[in-house]
A and B are shown apart, each in its own frame.
Chain A
Amino acid sequence: MPLPSPDLTARLDAVYREESGRILATLIRLLGDFDTAEDAMHEAFQVALQRWPAEGEPENARAWLVSTARFKAIDAMRRRVRLDASQDEIAEALGRGDSVAAEIDDELPDDRLKLIFTCCHPALAPDARAALTLREVCGLTTEEIARAFLTSAPTVAQRIVRAKARIRDERIPYQVPSGHELPERLGAVLAVVYLLFNEGYSASSGPSLTRADLSAEAIRLGRAVLERLPEPEVMGLVALMLLHEARREARVGVDGELVLLDRQERSRWDRSLIREGIDLVERSLATRRFGPYALQAAIAAVHAEAATPEATDWRQICALYASLLAIQPSPVIELNRAVAVAMHEGPAAGLQMVDALLARGELEDYHLAYSARADLCRRLGRRDEAREAYERALALAKSAPERAYLEKRLRELG
């Protein structure tokens, strides 16, 4: 038997990353069970490693892997039949399916969406939903997920083991919910996608500001949901992610420090992502059934449309923040509105709102509240207060680029 070359191993890894979510989704439909489907898929990749060197890569790798996995599952069940007679019926049922295999090996459009809904089911622990989605839908390994979330592999593995046991024990259905169930369940899916995006976009701690791969996975997932469920909030979330993604490069300075919106080189923004984002926002707003994601995307779109920071339509941004607060009250959104008001009406008006917020005590440990206060005090020429607030922000900030930004501002204050 020819040994797999390093090229083939790399190629199969790539196929895994690209296709495993879809293969798994199809196999769950064909085999009716998450674990069985996953085992069978892993076996099929193992078979590919053994057979492709001699036989060459099949023309349609995915179909080959699905059909090989299916036969592996039938084999495994037959083997188990010998040890445990109760499995007889399942194997028989699978065996009967052989003749129709050719027709059902293709992915049905909703297969992957079903898998996403299963992985993001509200009955699963929130941190498990993200890990499970990354592993089962995006094809990341346990170890990669652990690195992305700056945690240990056994911790992630345990979350995934528990989540899968829960799917099995509670018979969490493998389907796209419909009717009255859809909004809530879709909300849970979008929350996971947004969490992944943010985790990748603004790493909460550690040396690097962005972990681009996680954001890319989030966008991929968002697009997959959008393709099958073009709901206004799905458009809104994908738009929001694209508009932020467009600024990724511009928000990191030469020394790896965070560069805020008003100081970014706008020529470095990705225009095609911006166009796509704005298009989606407009479609979402036109439905008049939009929600918080679309409104946040609309705010990002107003920024993206401004050729220079001075050209920003702050009046429109203030109005969008007011709408956003009306449907999703949150101190962080209030803080953002205060910053917009400062730009529209002047720093004094913004500072008054920030101080009122801080006085309520809800943002006491939030470094950006102090950083915003510091910026406003600086603009008002209140240097001592600015210094004090920058120092407070620095004491709370965890990510290295954010700390570098605050240190730079402190130095500039003299």
Chain B
Amino acid sequence: MKYICLGYIDPSKLTSVSETELHAMMDSCFAYDDQLRANGHFKGGEGLQPPNTAMTLRYTNGKIVVTDGPFAETKEQLGGIMILEARDLNHAVELISKHPGAKFGPWEIRPAADLAEMVRQSEARRRQTVPA
């Protein structure tokens, strides 16, 4: 099963450590990512630039309103996402609990939703509305 893992970062934790410590932490994160990759668990992922680089689009009063900044301002910021292949939820928890990134902030693990049936139904609806 695929699990989407959202890695959060508490920025204060990044500024409170020495450069040597920061490097060691990052190295351990990337080393663990490599290990996940080598074992077929890492199915994709990206780190995110800080929240001040974000744009938020919202549909309001019939039109799209664009604002700068993140959707939600929180102490812990979304720092990256990973698509994890694991046998079940407990397996995903075990894999992520060993990720050194947990020291920077919390991880949230969510199973990927299987939308195949929803997509199939949607396709059927769309076929019906297209004139022959």
Contacts and interface: CB of A to CB of B under 8 A. Distances in A.
B34 to A, nearest CB: 10
Contacts of A42: 86-87, 91
Contacts of A49: 40
Contact of A160 (B1, B40, B90, B111): B90
B89 interface: yes
B35 interface: yes
Contact of A83 (B31, B41, B86, B91): B31
Interface in A14-61: 16, 35, 38-39, 42-43, 45-47, 49-50
B122 to A, nearest CB: 24
B91 to A, nearest CB: 6
Interface in A133-147: 135, 141-144
Interface residues of B, number: 16
Contacts of A226: none
A35 B94 contact: yes
Interface residues of A, number: 26
A51 B81 CA distance: 28
A216 B94 CA distance: 28
Interface string A155-178: 011001100000000000000000
B28 interface: yes
A81 interface: no
Interface in A112-161: 135, 141-144, 153-154, 156-157, 160-161
Nearest to B91: A42
A45 B111 CA distance: 20
Q: Is the interface of A mostly helix, strand, loop or mixed?
A: helix
Interface string A285-307: 00000000000000000000000
A79 interface: yes
A149 B91 CA distance: 19
B89 A157 contact: yes
Nearest to A160: B90
Contact of A157 (B28, B31, B90): B90
A46 B39 CA distance: 7
A50 B40 CA distance: 8
A79 B35 contact: yes
Contacts of B76: none
Interface string A71-83: 0100010010001
A142 B88 contact: yes
A45 B93 contact: no
B89 A143 contact: yes
A410 to B, nearest CB: 39
A83 B28 CA distance: 8
Interface of B: 1, 28, 31, 35, 39-41, 86-91, 93-94, 111
Given A141-B1, A144-B88, 19 more contacts: A16-B87, A35-B94, A46-B39, A46-B41, A76-B35, A79-B31, A79-B35, A83-B31, A141-B88, A141-B89, A142-B89, A142-B90, A142-B91, A143-B1, A143-B111, A154-B89, A160-B90, A161-B90, A161-B93
